[in-house]
Structure formats: structure tokens, C-alpha cells
């Protein structure tokens, strides 16, 4: 059986608009018969609006008529015309032009020197490289280590400024949260909070 979209919403519609048995609805929607009974009794899915499986292309009128005429009949779902649109799409790996691939070690070195908080997985994703290459550059075991110079990926044309900012900001936010949990205080951060934040009221200064 094809998995249907919005099974509970579909069950609500079938309960309200057909004479199908609870078992038939449960089988079609992939639910337990007691759950369908709960929908009919108003104890389950009270706030869910019914979804018409015929209107959205998941059930044919012929299948529904056959099932209503025979309580033992089990309906077969059709592939919804909306299913392809709702499928999660896997993001393709970043493609780096051949002419730019020789620049990736320089960009990796830039990340390692200027933003060590950015995880290797993020560096791999934004530059289209591998963790093995990152490790080689970090450990200076890369075959071209002597000629690698840190250069930011935007200058090299390997990423946009927005992509770079997003990666750096995400890593910085995670590091800040991890440090806060560990009780680590940023030495460059403010040691005292301003009175406007603490709510403290300065004492009045006596005048002569």
C-alpha cells in the first residue's frame, strides 16, 4: 500500500463522509481501529480538519464505492500528485570548478587559523572538501603544506560572503552556548554589567 499523506486528517474525512467500517479506514490510513473509533467518538483528532483523499488524488471514487459496498474490501491508495512536491530533497554536494580546487587548501588553512570553532563538517560542506584533507592541512601532512597560505574562501571564489557569515555565526553561537554550560567566561567579554541592565539604582550623591 502507498503511504498516504496526512493519515489522521484523511481518517477524519472518511469517518465524516463515508459509511466505511473502522477497520477499512484504519487499514487505508495506517492507523489502529481503536484510534479511528476515537476519531468517530470525538476523542481523537478534535482539532484536525478532514482531508479529502479523492480530491488530493490518493483515492479513486471507484475504490471508495467498492469498499462501501463490501465491508471486507480493503482500499488501495493511489500515488498522490502532491507526494513528489512534499518529498524532502537531498541537497547535492557543492561543486567546485576544477580551476578553483587548487585553492581549497588555502581556504581550509584560513578556517583553521581564524575560525577553529567551525566544525570540520561545516568546512567540508562550504568548501566541497573532505575531512581527510582538513586533517592533513591541520597536521601539516598535506603534500603541498609548504605552499599553503591562509586565504578567505570569499576572496578565492569558493563561497559567498553570506554563506561564510552564516557558517561562522552558527559556530560562534554554538561555542558560546557550550562555554556557558561549562561555566567558561570570555576574557574579552564585559566583566561588569551596566546598571541599566541590572536594574541597580545609583545612590544619590550628597550635595554641600
Q: Does 82 score more than 80 pLDDT? A: no
88 vs 44, residue with greater confidence: 44
CB 45 within 8 A of CB 39: yes
What is the percent of the chain where pLDDT is above 90?
A: 43
Quick one: cell of 103?
A: 585553492
Burial letters for 84-119: b for 16+ Cβ neighbours within 10 Å, e otherwise? eeeeeeeeeeeebeeebeebbbbbbbbbbeebebbe
| Per-residue pLDDT, 179 | 83
| Per-residue pLDDT, 93 | 53
Band the pLDDT of 197: cuts 50, 70, 90: very low
The answer to whether the Cα torsion of 97, 100, 105, 110 is positive or negative is negative
**Residue 93: partners with Cβ closer than 8 Å, 6 or more residues away:** 128
Q: Does 158 score more than 70 pLDDT? A: yes
The whole-number average pLDDT for the span 63-83 is 84
Instruction: Give, to the nearest 10 degrees, the angle between helix 120-127 and helix 161-182.
Output: 170
39-43, 169-173, 180-184, range with the lowest pLDDT: 180-184
Amino acid at each position: 500500500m502507498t503511504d498516504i499523506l496526512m493519515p489522521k486528517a484523511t481518517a477524519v474525512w472518511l469517518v465524516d463522509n463515508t459509511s466505511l467500517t473502522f477497520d477499512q479506514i484504519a487499514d487505508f490510513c495506517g492507523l489502529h481501529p481503536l484510534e479511528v473509533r476515537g476519531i468517530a467518538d470525538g476523542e481523537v483528532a478534535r482539532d484536525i480538519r478532514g482531508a479529502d483523499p479523492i480530491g488530493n488524488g490518493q483515492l479513486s471514487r471507484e475504490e471508495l464505492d467498492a469498499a462501501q459496498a463490501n465491508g471486507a474490501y480493503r482500499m488501495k491508495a493511489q500515488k498522490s500528485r502532491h507526494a513528489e512536491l512534499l518529498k524532502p530533497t537531498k541537497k547535492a554536494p557543492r561543486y567546485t570548478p576544477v580551476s578553483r580546487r587548487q585553492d581549497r587548501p588555502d581556504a581550509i588553512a584560513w578556517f583553521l587559523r581564524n575560525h577553529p570553532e567551525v566544525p570540520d563538517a561545516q568546512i567540508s560542506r562550504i568548501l566541497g572538501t573532505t575531512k581527510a584533507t582538513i586533517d592533513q592541512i591541520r597536521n601539516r601532512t598535506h603534500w603541498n603544506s609548504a605552499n599553503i597560505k591562509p586565504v578567505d574562501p570569499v576572496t578565492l571564489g569558493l563561497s559567498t560572503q553570506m554563506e561564510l557569515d552564516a557558517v561562522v555565526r552558527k559556530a560562534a553561537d554554538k561555542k558560546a552556548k557550550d562555554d556557558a554550560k561549562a561555566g567558561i567566561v570570555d576574557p574579552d567579554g564585559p566583566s561588569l554589567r551596566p546598571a541599566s541592565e541590572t536594574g541597580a539604582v545609583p545612590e544619590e550623591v550628597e550635595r554641600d
